[in-house]
Chain A
Amino acid sequence: MKRRNFVAGSVALGAALAMSSGRAQAQSKPVLAGPLAPNPAEFRKAMNEFVGNATPVEAGLKLELPVLADNPGAVPVHAKVTLPITESQYCKELIVLAELNPSPLACRFRFSPATGTAEAAVRLRLSQTQTIHALARMSDGKVLIAKQTVTVAASGCGM
């Protein structure tokens, strides 16, 4: 084989490989079905129930979680209300929502005036790459919101 032919052939082969792998990736884009399918109706319901008539404010609530979840079975999530907490103005309730999990309402925290802070950390299991939302309701009715996208490595947790 002439060198020129060989080079041209290998370029064509490389392009073909790249195309086929691209197609394979597009096909393996996870659309979860069965018990792990996302539940958008319940996500909206939980969100609307918590927010009510208030207008969520995107400040005063800090949500911390990794950008890449290397272990989808235990993703550390940390939420903290950074507004000053007093006896008269405190955080009543805080929820964490995993948008595309089969059960989007991951958990709910309740605080009291005796707590003096509003901070909690848990570990979630995530079924796929998605956005995590945190919402906090203050005693004066103000609703705070924070969100972050997390990329889930591997094939999800199996819940």
Chain B
Amino acid sequence: MTKPPRVWVSNAKPAKGEIVRVRAQIEHSMESGLRTDPAGHLRPRNIIRKFEARLGQNLLFAWEPGISIAQNPYIEFTFAARESGDLVMVWTEEKDALLEARKAITVS
């Protein structure tokens, strides 16, 4: 978990009410807990279990992935731009290790 998240925003300076699309991806193995190592032991489950996107005080979008999500989890969502602020995205791993990304959104 060393590489920073890759984040794409369709428009960082949207008009009021415009729909903004966000795509984000991180590097993570999303170990399902079903695979075995060469010695036959189960590899312990280790997945991203929560993703949250906030703008100011408002929670825009929350995602709870399960073990069926592909590795290097990719997430795409949209929201209607109503106020300016930092779009803060937080990934929570099983062991509570955090990864965070920020994008400034300026509503004109």
Report which A residues bind B (CB closer than 8 A). Answer: 35-36, 73-75, 78, 98, 101-112, 114-117, 119-126, 158-159
Contacts and interface: CB of A to CB of B under 8 A. Distances in A.
A84 B105 CA distance: 24
B67 A103 contact: yes
* Leading 3 A-B pairs by shortest Cβ distance: A116-B80, A114-B58, A121-B76
For the residues of B in contact with A, the DSSP-based class is: strand
A115 B60 contact: yes
A92 B42 CA distance: 36
Of A98, A104, A119, most B-chain CB atoms within 10 Å: A119
Contacts of B74: 74, 121-123
B98 interface: no
Contacts of B5: none
Interface of B: 17, 19, 32, 34-35, 55, 58-71, 73-80, 82
A108 B68 contact: no
Contact of A114 (B59, B73, B78): B59
Contacts of A105: 66, 68
Contacts of A36: 34
B79 A117 contact: yes
Contacts, number: 104
Nearest to A80: B78
B39 to A, nearest CB: 16
Nearest to A106: B68
Given A114-B82, A158-B35, 9 more contacts: A35-B34, A74-B74, A98-B68, A103-B32, A103-B66, A106-B68, A111-B61, A122-B65, A123-B69
A122 B26 CA distance: 13
Contacts of A101: 68
30 contacts: A35-B34, A36-B34, A74-B70, A105-B68, A107-B68, A107-B69, A108-B64, A109-B62, A109-B63, A114-B60, A114-B79, A115-B60, A115-B61, A115-B79, A115-B80, A116-B17, A116-B80, A117-B19, A119-B78, A120-B63, A121-B77, A122-B63, A122-B65, A122-B69, A122-B74, A122-B75, A124-B68, A125-B68, A159-B35, A159-B67
B60 A112 contact: yes
A158 B71 CA distance: 12
B75 A102 contact: no
A114 B55 contact: yes
